[in-house]
Amino acid sequence: MAQVHPTAVVYPGARLHDTVEVGPFSVIGPHVVIGAGSRIGPHVVIEGRTTLGERNHLFQFCSVGAAPQDLKYAGEDTELIIGDDNQIREFVTVNLGTVSGGGATRLGHRNLLLANSHIAHDCEVGNEVLLANGAALAGHVVVEDAVKISGLVAVHQFTRLGRYAFISGGSMVTMDVPPYCTVQGDRATLVGLNTVGLERGGFTEEQIGRVKEAYRILFRSKLSLQDALAQLRGELSSHPEVDHLVRFVETSKRGVTR
């Protein structure tokens, strides 16, 4: 049986793996599923149709699976799906999805959500993402893998953050941030490449060199965006790191940060 503190409330219907630990005064709702090895600290609230994978650690006073902060939400049966090995720190809030946004908020694996950060309804957050203290994602935001979001950042709804992007502290992000890039400011603008993140992520010197050349062509040449993309397809195609950048820019609906 799961180790549940006597003061905790686990509603009938909740499914907890035998190795789950639940701390004092926490509340686990009737539609919650918690996987093996997960630790739920004191004063944690997990509600809604929320599924947590394995080895997640939820710290005191966080709120996971609450109703979305969306006036259109009318109690529909939506979800929050969280993967494995995530750390969710104090006073973090992660909301359910909405019907209009696909019905689910999703968080991948090995993410670190620091105190007072927020993930709103219908967000899709990948793996190994960091949200520092006070960072907030509005609804429908897509965050690709290995993005680092510094403290007190706000990300506009429907915005995408490309993989290995770095968002500097206090930035207000209103347009898509291309993969591998660093942005800062209100409103956020490009200030260079996240080369440190790429090195730590295992990118080779050759791969980083190609990313630098792609960045130069896209954002530092005098070419129009379409001409720059055409040049990249002609000169650097077949390299996955560049192909991903090209696809990201081509599919942007809000426009990319320049």
Tell me if residue 85 is catalytic: no
Longest dimension (CA), the chain: 66
Phi-psi region of 209 (alpha: psi -120 to 50; beta: other; left: phi over 0): alpha
The pairing of beta strand 104-107 with beta strand 3-4: unpaired
CA atoms within 13 A on the CB side of 173: 36
d(C-alpha 61, C-alpha 197), whole Å: 31
Do 55 and 37 touch, CB atoms closer than 8 A?
A: yes
Catalytic residue, candidates 65, 85, 97, 122: 122
Residue 33 sits at φ, ψ, to 5 deg, of -125, 130
* 3-state class (DSSP) for residue 218: helix
Residue 122 DSSP one-character state = T
Nearest Cα neighbor of 45 from 30, 31, 66 is 66
Catalytic residue, candidates 139, 151, 162, 197: 139
And the tokens for 20?
């789950």
Tell me if residue 121 is catalytic: yes
d(C-alpha 89, C-alpha 168), whole Å: 20
d(C-alpha 35, C-alpha 147), whole Å: 25
Distances (CA, A) of 166 to 123, 143, 237: 18, 11, 24
**Total count of residues recorded for the chain:** 258
Catalytic residue, candidates 31, 43, 109, 121: 121
Tell me if residue 139 is catalytic: yes
Active site residues: 121-122, 139
